[in-house]
A and B are shown apart, each in its own frame.
Chain A
Amino acid sequence: MAGLTMSRPGLGRGVVLLVAGLYFVVPIVCAFAFSVGIGSPGQQVGLDAYTGIGAAEGLADSLALTLKVAAATVALVLGVLVPALLAVRLAAPRLRTAVQAVCLLPLVVPAVALGAGITTLLRWGADRYYGTPLFEGLVALQDPDFPVILVLAFAVMALPLAYSTLDAGLSALDLRVLVEAARSCGSSWPRTLVHVVLPNLRGALLNAAFLTLALVLGEYAVAALLGYQPFAVWTVVISGSEAQMSVAVSIVGLLGTWALLMVIAAAGRTKRLKEAS
């Protein structure tokens, strides 16, 4: 809209952005204030909430659980998606709509509904297969130290987002040409995939991994329904007794996510800039 010289929208635009900025910044500022004790009558101002995070009860366990599950989820999501997307583009283009439909299907099942289905399934399975080896398998699935069931659930929930990211990344590549060029240079299929395709997908893979990680870190519904205490659930549990600390933890989490996001975006951008020049 450059050509038409209009001076007034500059003002309107500034006002809009200012008001919006306020709405989004104020809760974070207030949350921070709350966590250090400003604004609450009868509270001492101090950074106790933050310094106490390290020593908080149950934090280490819940973080460990969350990170373990997150790593496994990322591995599962990428391990399932990458072969499928590569196969669709290189070998079976007709399956493209089917794969897209399957990957976007989880959008239709809200987290709570998924959690409800899983809980019921596990209970029913426990009832029906009690005493059989399958029962042992189900128990192992729900092992509190490493609940595979959570990994499965989170991977399903992360699928649509990871799919969009990887698909966009693959669209930007001329995959077929790349592979044919590598193959004509005498590279075998496995080597082509590892040394040619994957490095070019690095940005998209990182993005997808990061979005999955963010999802796992923030996921509450399914984990709570299944009775586990990863990070998000833990913050709710602790909020009863340590309100300030739970807010402090939330802020740290938010800022950390933001920082990580900017880093990844910047890394992706500078890489592209370098290639373009």
Chain B
Amino acid sequence: MASYLLRRLLGMLPLLVGITIVCFVVIHLAPGGPTDLQTDLNPKVSAQARARLAALYGLDQPLHMQYGRWLMQLVRGDLGRSFADDRPVTSKILERIPVTLTIELLAMALILAVAIPIGVTGAVRPGSPADQCATFVAFVGFAMPSFWLALMLMSWFGVRLGWLPISGLQSLDYEAMRWWERWLDGAAHLVLPVFVSAFGGVAGFSRFMRGSMAEALRQPYVRTAVAKGLPASRVVYRHALRNALLPVVTILGLSVPGLISGSVIVEAIYAIPGMGRLYFDAVMARDYPIIMGVLLIGAVLTLLGNLLADVAYAVVDPRIRYE
């Protein structure tokens, strides 16, 4: 197991290097260079000042030197400083990650809790009204623009009905609350973002689950279980479902990039101080060090998601060997 993990981690190294190259290249696509934005709008900046600024960021050196320099800093955990407030990018990102992670993990849990029963029902009784209804909802779920869903829910539950808070993670009087009120307040703020994050995923996942379950139900061991007279529920839940859940592990890992992408929209709309919001603000302000940093972290998180999925698959499925 340990050697398998080690080999997988080593195998990720070339991809990691590739990721850093892509991040670096994307930022240097900027016509004129990343510091232009700081200087362009300011007529008082002289040519010397501009050159000094370029030297400060190492922009007067050839590209491969710049990349090497950036990579050396990166290895030491230094992602540079934000243009906006001159704080280290690393700490700005690190303080945001828990928020995004909480929302996305809750969304994932919600997806599983809803999609698995839907998928199983559909596979067990294909063509039933429940199945057709679920299929229809899945289609709409795929097509639903998440930003629109977020906006509609916000205007309905937040503004019109006034049931749920519409932005941020805490109410204004959070400090004055007792511990259980704080807990409730936090939960209320999470309802809409988690729901919107999970919505599209439920559609995809329930369909996947349905397919996987239908496949499992066709297997010989299910026929055997039925033939020896086991009750239907036992066949479905003990024999088929357990096997149908195996590929779900992989899909969970593969859904990481989608969830991260979605966090930008959800967090931008609900004003949640997470990584997506940080990224959105950085993009709007062209805060290149932050953009580079979050892009890098997003890709690394995706890579880790894939790794976790592979390892988890090897753990839950004894047929997979660590070779």
Asked if A and B bind, the verdict is no
Residues of A within 8 A of B (CB): none
